[in-house]
Structure 1
Amino acid sequence: MTRRTKIVVTLGPSTEGLIPKLKDKVDIFRVNLAHGDYDSHARYFELLRSGAPDSSILADLPGPKLRVGDIGKMELTMGQEVLFSPDEGIVVQEPLFYRSVKPGSIILLADGLIKIRIKEVSGDQVRGIVLTPGTLTSRKGINIPDMALDSGLTENDFKLMEEALSLGADYVGLSFVLSENDVMKAKEKIQGRAWIISKIEKGQAVQRLFRIVEESDGVMVARGDLGVEIGLENLPYVQRKIIRISKQLGKPVILATQVLESMVSNPLPSRAEVIDIANSVYQGVDAIMLSDETAVGKYPVEAVQYLDQIISSSEDKVKPLSPSPMRSPDDAVAYASSSLSELSKSHVIVVHSRSGLSAIRVSRLRPKAMILAFTPDIKVARRLKICWGVTPISLEEGASDLNDLVSILERKCRELGVKGNVVIVAGDPKMESGRTNLLKLHSID
């Protein structure tokens, strides 16, 4: 049986030449738009479309993320006085940083590994004292835990959003979402041209979690900044909460940050990382993402192989979910398909979905049967790659009615070598897209 939980891999210097070697195990490639310029982003898209044409692409927006500029490598010691400025010391270019800090503020660098207390602010000259020492390198993130923002979207995000859409992104990742209003603003801009993945990494977002998930096409548990924001001790509970609400609302959820962090520099994962991945599979994530492990790590291929192995060995412990809560008759049909497949010993659930919603409804229930999702829209097929257990297949042939649709699906299943009992889930072609009103136990000889 094929792996159900999907793998997302971040492109970077370590992987741009390895795309053909990785494509068979990677479902989605991530391009981080926080780094590089249009030319470098376009080059990544071109490499992916030529080297892994069947893979989907997640374009990740930077949001109002504060980052250290080009400083090379800087060793910071306990009690050391440091200078933040636009052109010397710890270089920070964003004016937002200088507007947000004040004497007494605690600044966290590199996902909280380095802690600095601000003691003096004078325009764009900020001085602080190192409380927790460490090695700081270029482009590392800066967190100001008490910083309040009005919006998680910036003018630069809207510009990069249009760039990502023009290049053909299947998903757009919204960084530092604060409320459902950010998602709605992005929807107005995107107009259905890609799925919106909201990254949960701010304390404010946790307070508005249900509405954010409800408005989004999918969410990401962005554990790096989220852990800094809410405290590491609270992260496990919030991770489970995000996953639970996402499954409740039928939205795909990606787990991200420090999944195999030790493999940035080591050829083997740690025991704790293996257990973390397995527990995430048990909790029901749709996808797991590698970041530094593949973007800049020494062992990108090995990291993907280990992630694939750990997921595969954990998935047989995942149990089908209960039907509650169901929000519509369409949900009830999806639940019945999962139950019917188990009772009839059908190994395949065949879903015909024009919008992708019918496939998502079945996927969220985590059935034991494989989910083959046929869709007439190639863009929908690419987006469904993020969903647990779904194998999306583009179907160019149209159907006039339900009987015609069943005949087409049977023929396509035969071509794929599918035999025996299958459960068919679909919506009447004459009905509006997104509806599910057909459930059929069908035998293919």
Structure 2
Amino acid sequence: MIPFKNWKRRTKIIATLGPATESGEKIFSLIEKGVDVFRFNMSHGNPNWVREKVGLIQEFSKRLGKYVGMLLDTQGPAIRTGDLPDPMQLKPGDSFTFTVRGEKTDDLHSVSVNYDDIVNDIHVGDVILVDNGNIQMRVIAKEKNILRCEVLTAGVMKSRRHINIPGVRINLPPLTQKDLRDIQLGIECGMDFFALSFVREANDCDLLRQILISKGSHGKVVAKIEDQLAVKNLSQIIDSADAIMIARGDLGIECPFEELPIIQRRIVKSCIQKRKPVIVATHLLESMIMNPAPTRAEITDIANAVYEQADCVMLSGETASGKYPLECIQILDRVAVRTEKSGGAGYASLVELFDDEEKLAKTAVHLADDVGAPAICVFTRFGHLSTLIAGLRPRYSLIYAFCPDEDVCRKLTLHYGVEPCLVVFPKNQEESIELVESYLKKKGIESGQKIVLISEVPLRGERDRYILLHQIH
């Protein structure tokens, strides 16, 4: 029997906290509706705000009996314009001047930039994108502290707008002083995941990991892919990071827009091949920031990410500042559940397995798929075996990871189809079966259904790890 009756979503949902969702009532409701991980966008928010929300998440997750992860997203080395007394109306053909190092100019249209070396890094003829690409300019001349540009598209220049320079390597450090302060805050608050913005190469991930380890944190490194250099170095970055985020906002500006779907598919496929969690982020339900219903294109976009079997889909402004945050979670859940039932792209068939534990995981997944098992139950100390099984994308089975460590349980919230369960390890196989039966019956799995049990380490009194096919009594 194919277990579609009580299907539970495998694709994880990440929601960004912000003014629309900062109350205790909203955070509780978001967890209740299905949020698996909360994102703290450190481009906004202050330390006291972060500490307060962390406390609420921890309180409500315990109350609801659900493990919820927390992700700190660093601002990164962003290039921004300075303050303006008033917005500037720009039209094609206008001259515009960027200044650095306190340079003054009498030009009609001018603004400072927070990155002093932009004049050195950029070349005449390069295109500058301002405010998420809404304003485009071409560099026509360079002086010591001045960039002179021609406006290519009409727009309104406001204060503190983000700047992108596609294809140009910017010589900024991977972590700013603000990032380092925010990471320290995240460590103190017990954040599970640390997202590194504007990753350019594997060494950037290694640097963040060294910082976390040196400060005693077990946090996982999430590399955000959002420019052409990161795409070029993708394979090495995937190897170095614990997880990958496809940050389609900046990535869609930095790369030709027609390339974005191809890049997204390549990243998802590569991550699944290497068994690294992958997050599809940005603009999933952008229209619902203001509107109560999504566009049909947004529904299709979500369904495509789910069909490709990304581990997570992530909402940004939709839950941080939108009018309908709870409705967004419900829509993601509905679309994901329906799409998962229809099958997936099958990228997991490309995974290469080498050691005995990996082959053990593959055997468990094949067995579960063959019998249509609604559950694979994994006894794991450190989560490794359950993530192996998640990486192989079982067709019908939810992965119940029975683990004695709360920290490990929270780290598993990012992985496809894994539901962490805190337990004291059973003494023997008989006790493990009793524990699993009791737990699964509460989850709606009925008598007569077949499940697969697998142990990461030998239980006390036993010499071998095992895979067991068991029928619920």
Q: TM-score, normalised by structure 1?
A: 0.89
Deviations 1:135-190 (A, max 9, x none): 45555421112431455333433332222111111100011111111111111111
Q: In the alignment, residue 56 of structure 1 is paired with which amino acid? A: G
Tell whether the 8 Å contact from 2:274 to 2:351 is kept in structure 1 after alignment.
no
Kindly indicate whether residue 71 of structure 2 is the aligned counterpart of residue 62 of structure 1.
no
Displacement after TM superposition at 1:239 (Å): 0.8
* CA 300–135 in structure 1, closer or farther in 2 if over 3 Å, else same: farther
- Once the two structures are superposed, the pairs formed by residues 45-84 of structure 1 within 5 Å of their partners are 45-52=54-61, 54-69=67-82, 75-84=89-98
Kindly indicate whether residue 92 of structure 2 is the aligned counterpart of residue 92 of structure 1.
no
Displacement after TM superposition at 1:251 (Å): 0.9
Displacement after TM superposition at 1:378 (Å): 0.6
Counterpart in 2 of 1:158?
Answer: 180
- Once the two structures are superposed, the pairs formed by residues 244-259 of structure 1 within 5 Å of their partners are 244-259=269-284
Tell whether the 8 Å contact from 2:272 to 2:351 is kept in structure 1 after alignment.
no
Q: Please give the secondary structure, in 2, of the residue aligned with 1:30.
A: strand
Q: Measure the CA separation in 2 of the matches of 1:20 and 1:139.
A: 34
* CA 276–197 in structure 1, closer or farther in 2 if over 3 Å, else same: same
Kindly indicate whether residue 463 of structure 2 is the aligned counterpart of residue 438 of structure 1.
no
Equivalent position to 2:357, from 325, 330, 340? 330
Q: Please give the secondary structure, in 1, of the residue aligned with 2:402.
A: strand
Counterpart in 1 of 2:126?
Answer: 105
Tell whether the 8 Å contact from 1:201 to 1:221 is kept in structure 2 after alignment.
yes
**Higher normalized contact order (CA 8 Å, seq sep 6+, divided by chain length):** 2
* CA 76–383 in structure 1, closer or farther in 2 if over 3 Å, else same: farther
Report which stretch shifted further, 143-152 or 412-421. 412-421
Displacement after TM superposition at 1:241 (Å): 1.0
- Once the two structures are superposed, the pairs formed by residues 4-403 of structure 1 within 5 Å of their partners are 4-17=10-23, 18-24=26-32, 25-52=34-61, 54-69=67-82, 75-85=89-99, 89-97=110-118, 99-122=120-143, 124-149=145-170, 151-191=173-213, 193-319=218-344, 321-322=348-349, 324-367=351-394, 368-395=396-423, 397-399=424-426
Q: Measure the CA separation in 2 of the matches of 1:144 and 1:160.
A: 26
Displacement after TM superposition at 1:120 (Å): 4.5
* CA 188–109 in structure 1, closer or farther in 2 if over 3 Å, else same: same
Displacement after TM superposition at 1:14 (Å): 1.9
Tell whether the 8 Å contact from 1:284 to 1:318 is kept in structure 2 after alignment.
no
Report which stretch shifted further, 30-39 or 358-367. 30-39
Q: Measure the CA separation in 2 of the matches of 1:170 and 1:345.
A: 33
Q: Measure the CA separation in 1 of the matches of 2:276 and 2:177.
A: 27
Q: Measure the CA separation in 2 of the matches of 1:408 and 1:375.
A: 12
Displacement after TM superposition at 1:100 (Å): 3.4
User: Where does the alignment leave 5 or more consecutive residues of structure 2 unmatched?
Assistant: 1-6, 105-109
Aligned CA RMSD, in angstroms, stands at 2.7
Report which stretch shifted further, 337-346 or 270-279. 337-346
Tell whether the 8 Å contact from 2:194 to 2:222 is kept in structure 1 after alignment.
yes
Tell whether the 8 Å contact from 1:66 to 1:94 is kept in structure 2 after alignment.
yes
Q: In the alignment, residue 284 of structure 2 is paired with which amino acid? A: V
Deviations 1:359-381 (A, max 9, x none): 11111222111211111111111
Q: Please give the secondary structure, in 1, of the residue aligned with 2:400.
A: strand
* CA 312–206 in structure 1, closer or farther in 2 if over 3 Å, else same: same
Q: In the alignment, residue 2 of structure 1 is paired with which amino acid? A: K
Q: Measure the CA separation in 1 of the matches of 2:319 and 2:89.
A: 25
* CA 300–84 in structure 1, closer or farther in 2 if over 3 Å, else same: farther
Displacement after TM superposition at 1:340 (Å): 1.0
Q: Point out the structure with max Rg over C-alpha.
A: 2
Tell whether the 8 Å contact from 1:402 to 1:429 is kept in structure 2 after alignment.
no
Q: TM-score, normalised by structure 2?
A: 0.84
Kindly indicate whether residue 450 of structure 2 is the aligned counterpart of residue 425 of structure 1.
no
Q: Please give the secondary structure, in 2, of the residue aligned with 1:95.
A: coil
Counterpart in 1 of 2:4?
Answer: none
Tell whether the 8 Å contact from 2:280 to 2:310 is kept in structure 1 after alignment.
yes
Q: May I ask how many residue pairs the two structures share in their alignment?
A: 440
* CA 2–416 in structure 1, closer or farther in 2 if over 3 Å, else same: closer
Q: Measure the CA separation in 2 of the matches of 1:90 and 1:55.
A: 43
Tell whether the 8 Å contact from 2:137 to 2:151 is kept in structure 1 after alignment.
yes
